[in-house]
Amino acid sequence: MQDLRLSLVMDGIELPAALTLPPQPLAALLLIPGSLNSDVDGNFAPMFPGQPACLPHAYKDLAEQLAAARLAVLRYAKTGPGTGALVRDQALAAERYRSFHQRPRVAAAFLDELARRLPTLPLAVAGHSEGAVVATLLARARPDVRALALLSGPSKPLLHLMLWQRFEQDRAAGAAGPEAEQAYAHAMAWAADYAADRPLPADLAHNPYAAMIPFFLQPQNAPYLRSLEQVDPAAEFAQVLQPALILQGGRDPSVIPENADRLLQANPRATVARFPQLQHFYKRAPEGLSPQESFALAQESDPQVAQALAEWLRSVLA
C-alpha cells in the first residue's frame, strides 16, 4: 500500500492531499473532509488559545482501511491554521474561500486530479459531516461520479441543525414544554431569516435556543455561514441519481442518528448502514459521553464502517 503525498493549488491556496493506493485497486474514492480546520489526516489544530487539539485521524484511518479492501482513496486538507495549507495569493484566497460554494469547486478539482491519476477506475465520492453536503452537490453536478456515500451527513443546514438537535435533546430529557416549543419555533424562524439575509431582532438573549445566532452574525463568519445555510442537504440529496449510502453512528453528538432517517426519507432509493456504538469519527464510544469527551477519543476508527462502505461500493460498481 502506498500513501502518496501531493498538493493542489486552488484559487490562491496550496492544499495538501494524500492518495492511498493499494495494489490493483478496484475503484477510486474521493474523501471530502467535514467542517473546521481539518488537516489531510482528519486532525484539528486548536482554533483559539487554550483550546485542545482534536486528533481523531479519522480520514487517514478510513483511507487505509478502504485501501486494504482494494479501494484507492484521495483525501485532502482544508484551509486554516494547522492544516498544512499554504496561502499563495492572499487577495484571491480571501475572495474565493469566504463562501461555502468554494467547497464544491475545490472538491471538483481534486476529483479531476483523482480521475487524471487513475483514469481507468470508476469514481465514487464520500463526504464526512459538512463534507457530505459537498459530496452531494458534487455528485449532482458530475455524472462521472458512480456512487455517493454520506458519512455522518446532516439533513438540515447548520444553524437549523443545531437548533433542531438542541430541541430534540430537550424533548428527550422531558424539558420541551409549551414555552420551549414556542422559543424553538421563534428560533427556527430567525434561522430562516438569517439564511435569507433578513433583519433579526436586536435582542436574542431571552431565547435559550438563539444563543449561537450572534456567532453566525459576526462579520468574519457571516459570509460563509450564510451561504452554507442556504443549502438544504435533504433537498439536494433527494435529487441525487447515483446509488447512495448513508453511514450513521448511533452515539454521534454532532449529527444525531435522526439525520439518517430524514435523509432516507428524502431519498428512499438510498441504503443506510447504522453503527449503534460509534461516534462522529467512528470511534467506539461508551454511552453517556459529553460531546467534548466524545470528540477527544483518539483510538483507531472502527473498521466496520470501511468494511460496510467497501462492500457496498463493490456491489454498486460491479
Mean pLDDT by 10 residues, the chain (318 residues): 95 98 98 96 83 90 98 97 96 97 98 98 98 98 98 98 96 92 97 96 90 94 98 98 98 97 98 98 94 92 98 96
CATH match of 2-156+232-317 with 3.40.50.1820: yes
Domain ranges of the chain: 2-156+232-317, 159-223
**Residue 49 to residues 46, 78, 226, 300, Cα–Cα distance (Å):** 7, 20, 26, 27
**Rounded CA gap, 54 and 91, in Å?**
30
CB 230 within 8 A of CB 133: no
What is the residue-wise DSSP string for 218-237?
STTTHHHHHHHHT--HHHHH
Return the SS3 of 318. coil
Report phi then psi at 232, rounded to 5: -95, 105
Q: What is the model's pLDDT at position 222?
A: 97
What value, to the nearest 5°, has the Cα angle with vertex 77 and ends 62 and 247? 35
Tell me how far CA of residue 195 lies from CA of 27, 40, 212, 221, in angstroms: 38, 30, 14, 13
Exposed, middle or buried, 219 (CB in 10 Å: 0-12/13-18/19+)?
Answer: exposed
Buried b (16+ CB within 10 A) or exposed e, 271-308: eebebeebbbbbbbbeeeeeeeebbebeeebbbebbeb
Among 260, 255, 265, 257, residue whose Cα is nearest residue 295: 255
Residue by residue, DSSP assigns 48-100 as STTPPPB---HHHHHHHHHHTTTEEEEEE--SSTTS--EES-HHHHHHHTTST
Flag whether the pTM goes above 0.95: yes
